[in-house]
Structure 1
Amino acid sequence: MSRKWMKYLSLPVMASMLLAGCSSNNGNNTASNDQTSDSKNATTNNATATNATDGKPASWIADRKIKGLVFMGTDDYTEDMNPEIKAEIKKKTGIDFEIEIMKSADSLEGMIAGLAANDLPDFIAFYLNNSGRPEMPVALKAAREGMFTDLAPFFKDTKVYSKYLQDDYLPADTKYGVMFRPEFNGATYFTHMNIQREGGQVTWRGVGGPYIRKDIADKLGVDPRTITTTAQLEELAKKIKAGNFTDNNGAAVTPIGPAYWGGHEVGALFNDLEWGASDQRIKQDKDGKILHEAQTPIAMKKVEFVQRMLKEKLLQPEFFTMDESRATEGAINGSWAIIADMHSYQDFNQDMHYIPLGPINKVDAPYKMQIDYKSGYSAWAVPATTKKPEEVVKFADWLASREGKLLWKYGIEGRDYTLDANGNPLVKKEVIDLKAKDPNEAKKLGFAGVGNNWGDILGSTDNANKADFGEENYGDNSNSGLFPAVEKIATYYGLDQKIKDGEVVDAYVPNSFLGEFENGTDLKTAFDNYNDALVQAYYSKNLDDAQKILNSALKQMESAGLDGYLKLLADKNADPKTKVKL
């Protein structure tokens, strides 16, 4: 193991990162865009042609193995690939494709250990929603030490990834914060993924946030859409408690349970008590001053609210700490009258026995949907030790083409789908039936439509499902009925109007600049300590103790340079290239 990386493992910031862990998208990474396009022409343009000179298809790259090491969880990805799918890849490109998922209790910890071992395959992949993710300083350190290949020269000769070189294609954070950072002088050592082809579009039809059991709402005569403040939420929770409702097993329900995916603070539930995004806690006040939550009265107002909800048994006692399996079990059993966070694509609720609640207003204004101009999710890099790195880029480009996406999204033509008159895929009924009856068996077919997501690691970008395949969601063209509740919930929630009234934003999250702040390491540790301190304050004996806990956390942040960082954010926000979400 490199001594430099051993030292890095011991840094305080890494200790805090390892404690914080790494969250997944929980199946909610489905951004795509509606764009007018002639799909039949797209099929013709992307179809595999034959090179008459050597009998190989035009999509041929090289007769070689490409192996990737993935620092992401097995709930999002699998290294098990279907043999027939692998054979198709080999036939079309010459590539023997293989991925390995780093086995680790924490994906960030695995990434650090994998880089420290300095024995990397042809590419690596890791979580990276934005440049404020904890993976970013780890990836940056590796790039600065020369561990990765500059990919920019290879993008020039590609069909899809060459778009990354266009001035107006990438969102600001992806362009300047992740990939083409000024310090690299035009080089790029990571490729940010899941970029939409067109900006400012919302084509994922899911509705996320708090949900309430419909039978309970009906019994109480409450329209959940009218619950727009935490004060109203508290009154509703009291009515639920007094109603003596029971779950599927006959046990008393808990008025408000944790998120479907486990305990943590849910910003959508406490929105009018959140100072900025719940994973950032930095916001501009009405006078234009940028403040951390701990510097405002909001922090103690939230603590007071949570303590009262816990004391009155309106909030599940382990709301902030419960493991995913127990939280999910409670949701499926109907044990939580209100689930703090879930979404409308989840299988267990396709009968709509839970319906959306809210949305809760912001701390200083009515709710308004914020729409990212474009957003990213995950990234990949090519180690400097990789032979012929241009072939890895060419393979990624093929996976990102319509031909490649058709394989990793829909499977094999004839086996898994047929084509309609416009060249768009029609999912076969037997595949739809198998997915509904036995999802695990369907997954073995080996493509994203049935839950095997190997292809999006290198291929999910320039996304425009409607333009490329004639449907936003897998199976729509076949009227598959896989998610019958989605459009009904979208209509109930008023999703289209919320999108119409929404605000399109192309900006950085506040934590994005910690990597260039002089005391960024110490301040990141202090930010993480504040998050932990907030939970301690929720469970403290009284408000006086809670205040002392938060005061101590604030003092640590101030000692680590909080005021200087907030000034940096003000300077960044004044620059059109580095606008901040405040």
Structure 2
Amino acid sequence: MKRKRRFALGVTLALTMALTACGGSGNSNESASDSTKPSDSTTSGQTDKAVWFSSVDFWNPPAKWNTDPNSVQGAITAKTGLTFEFNIPAQDGDTKLNLMLLSNKDFPDVLTITNDVMVKKLIQSGKVWELEEFLKKYDPESHLLTDFPADVKEVIEKRDGGFYAFPSHISSDDARKVYPPSGQFYIDTVDYASNGGILVNSNILKEIGMTLDDIKTEQGLLQAYEKAKGLKVNGAPVIPLLVDGKSYQDATLPFLQYTFGAMRVDKDGNYRDLLLAPETKDALGFLYKSMKGGYFEPGQMTVDNAAVKADIASGRVFTFIGNTANTSFNNYDYWTSSGPILSDSGKKPTMEKSTLAGGGWMKTFISKDTRYPEKLAKWISFMSSKEGMLLSSYGFEGRDYTFDDKGLLVKTEEGLKNATDYMNTGVGAFWPFAHTTFSYSIQQPPTMETDKAAVIAVQAQSAYGKDPATQKYVNNSLNLPADYFAADSENSNIETQVKAYKEAQIAKIIMSKSDEEFNSLYEDMVAQLKKLGLEKVDAEKNKYVQEKNKEYGIEVKGINS
């Protein structure tokens, strides 16, 4: 569910992840010339090491903290008196956090998580601070007590029962009143960009003698796969289709469902799980045909994100379908996108967009067990300040970036290089403090000359949303709270059973040996999902959806099935 929800954020994380992983962004009308001078009041005294836990296994901040004040990490230490040791499990981060809560031992000082259910557990445990209370006690002059976007805070308080979590990738109307977009490039990013999509290797596309228009249809794309199957790059065979590793059911499949016309409501506007949308069969059918044709291997469905990134960087992948933000594709100028894949059935591609403020993809908490509350209060205030965001997202003025005559930030060649090497340099590495609206305001709209990676990212990630065939609709009422069903309720148990069943069954469907077996396994899945009670769960969710439709004054109905 983690990546699936990311596709529906009001402002896509697409460019934000690309920018934070490739140099970040940020905007301010204030001078940043003193952004890296140590603060004597904070650093008088010893330096303490805090433990920072995260369940986001593909977040890779610098493993070894550099205390040199000429480094991003060292400048943070100079400002706050803190260094950090990261605890980021390679997998099952939520499970490990659960164990820490139960054992009550070795609890970290800072926690960054994404799972809303774990957010509730963390808050209910009583082991994390409500941030307003925390700051009033330990940093009463913090800017967060006066200038945090009201609409974002309202979303967080409704979700969590208080202002417990600092959100990443802030994007909201209130934030844009303070930090308006610096150009049309960023307006388009907000309106059209999406993480979920198809990437196309233009080098291989040219080699097989086809164009982006040729592969805009399901049939055309499959024909391209057949042509690409026998090619080699640097002696290694071309991979016609790369799916999103072990996350394919949360990233690859949802994009295919949407591009083939699925929606989470039927023609009467009633909520319906995407699994029960008829277009899901088309999406699974595409993967089945691709598997049967030898265009991708079963082993792709089990690898981790590091393996996906390695394949993307190899130059031998023809297309990737999934969460593009996790691939670092924009480091390579041969990547582009054909936008939607038009289903052979003629159904219209769909795209969800939220007009609500986001409550953060990554949510960062401060532990009540920490021995350094004063320093962590100063730290979270600094990291979320204009000065701190400039440092963590861009590095050092004069070395990593400059300002043009309009006061907009321009990355230098060294800055771009340091951003690409963020796992060592720290430039753009601190995703939990990425501020999308701030980013789109301070930075000069990029060009291929000034920031090729950002342009490559947005061109590819906006292709689906900007395509005239794509039907966009507001999904404000469709995103239910993670704890809408109590953990021990019948509906929650049904969802658990559905998740376990569909994960195994979908893999079987994709690997069917014949059309007859595919149809039979698909029909078995639909029947079993209904038997497990998915329609009952949908009916309960529909009550929430209809209430929210009235509250927001919107009406959403299915346009295909």
> If the TM-score is normalised by the length of the shorter chain, which range does it land in?
0.7 to 0.9
Stretch of structure 1 that moved more, 542-551 or 407-416:
407-416
Q: CA separation of 1:126/1:526 partners in 2, compared to 1, >3 Å: closer, same or farther?
A: farther
Structure 2 residue aligned with 1:136, among 88, 111, 116?
116
Amino acid at match of 1:544: S
What's 2:218 paired with? 233
What's 1:576 paired with? 551
Secondary structure of the 2:453 match is coil
Structure 2 residue aligned with 1:486, among 448, 452, 456?
456
What's 1:153 paired with? 133
What's 2:364 paired with? 380
**Matches of 1:176 and 1:47, distance apart in 2:** 36
Question: By how many angstroms is 1:359 displaced?
Answer: 1.7
Preserved contact between residue 359 and residue 367 of structure 1 (Cα < 8 Å): no
Task: Give the unaligned 5+ runs of structure 1.
Answer: 1-16, 51-55, 129-134, 182-186, 277-282
Amino acid at match of 1:123: D
Preserved contact between residue 417 and residue 426 of structure 1 (Cα < 8 Å): yes
**Matches of 1:578 and 1:108, distance apart in 2:** 36
What's 1:224 paired with? 212
Question: By how many angstroms is 1:286 displaced?
Answer: 1.1
What's 2:334 paired with? 353
Please tell me whether residue 292 in structure 1 is matched to residue 292 in structure 2. no
Deviation per CA, 1:440-471: give whole Å up to 9, x if none: xx7533332xxxx2x443x3347412534x43
What's 2:386 paired with? 402
Structure 1 residue aligned with 2:438, among 443, 461, 464?
464
Please tell me whether residue 194 in structure 1 is matched to residue 174 in structure 2. no
TM-score (normalised: structure 2): 0.73
**Matches of 1:303 and 1:37, distance apart in 2:** 43
What's 1:88 paired with? 75
Amino acid at match of 2:76: I
Question: By how many angstroms is 1:435 displaced?
Answer: 6.7
Question: By how many angstroms is 1:285 displaced?
Answer: 0.8
Question: By how many angstroms is 1:580 displaced?
Answer: 11
Deviation per CA, 1:310-342: give whole Å up to 9, x if none: 334355444544554554454444544332247
Please tell me whether residue 176 in structure 1 is matched to residue 164 in structure 2. no
Preserved contact between residue 70 and residue 125 of structure 1 (Cα < 8 Å): yes
TM-score (normalised: structure 1): 0.71
Q: CA separation of 1:435/1:291 partners in 2, compared to 1, >3 Å: closer, same or farther?
A: closer
What's 2:184 paired with? none
Please tell me whether residue 538 in structure 1 is matched to residue 495 in structure 2. no
Secondary structure of the 1:126 match is strand
Amino acid at match of 2:50: K
Preserved contact between residue 16 and residue 434 of structure 2 (Cα < 8 Å): no
Preserved contact between residue 72 and residue 126 of structure 1 (Cα < 8 Å): yes
Preserved contact between residue 258 and residue 322 of structure 1 (Cα < 8 Å): no
Please tell me whether residue 105 in structure 1 is matched to residue 75 in structure 2. no
* Percent sequence identity over aligned pairs: 15
Question: By how many angstroms is 1:287 displaced?
Answer: 0.9
Deviation per CA, 1:503-524: give whole Å up to 9, x if none: 6665562463435474353133
What's 1:53 paired with? none
Stretch of structure 1 that moved more, 479-488 or 69-78:
479-488
Task: Give the unaligned 5+ runs of structure 2.
Answer: 8-12, 182-186
Q: CA separation of 1:160/1:486 partners in 2, compared to 1, >3 Å: closer, same or farther?
A: farther
**Matches of 1:116 and 1:493, distance apart in 2:** 46
Alignment root-mean-square deviation, CA: 4.9
Question: By how many angstroms is 1:137 displaced?
Answer: 2.0
Preserved contact between residue 26 and residue 389 of structure 2 (Cα < 8 Å): no
Q: CA separation of 1:505/1:49 partners in 2, compared to 1, >3 Å: closer, same or farther?
A: farther
Question: By how many angstroms is 1:398 displaced?
Answer: 1.3
Secondary structure of the 1:397 match is helix
Preserved contact between residue 27 and residue 386 of structure 2 (Cα < 8 Å): no
Question: By how many angstroms is 1:378 displaced?
Answer: 0.7
Residue correspondence of structure 1 range 128-527 to structure 2 within 5 A? 128=114, 135-154=115-134, 157=140, 159-162=142-145, 167-170=150-153, 172=155, 174-177=156-159, 179=160, 181=161, 187-196=162-171, 197-198=175-176, 203=189, 209-218=197-206, 222-225=210-213, 227-228=215-216, 232-242=217-227, 245-249=230-234, 253-259=238-244, 263-264=248-249, 265-273=252-260, 275-276=262-263, 283-318=264-299, 320-324=301-305, 327-341=308-322, 343=324, 352-360=333-341, 365-368=348-351, 370=353, 373-375=356-358, 376-386=360-370, 389=373, 391-413=375-397, 416=400, 427=411, 429-430=413-414, 432=416, 439=421, 443-448=423-428, 453=429, 455-457=430-432, 459-461=433-435, 463-468=437-442, 470-471=443-444, 480-481=450-451, 483=453, 486=456, 489=459, 493=463, 506=476, 509-510=479-480, 512-516=482-486, 518-527=489-498
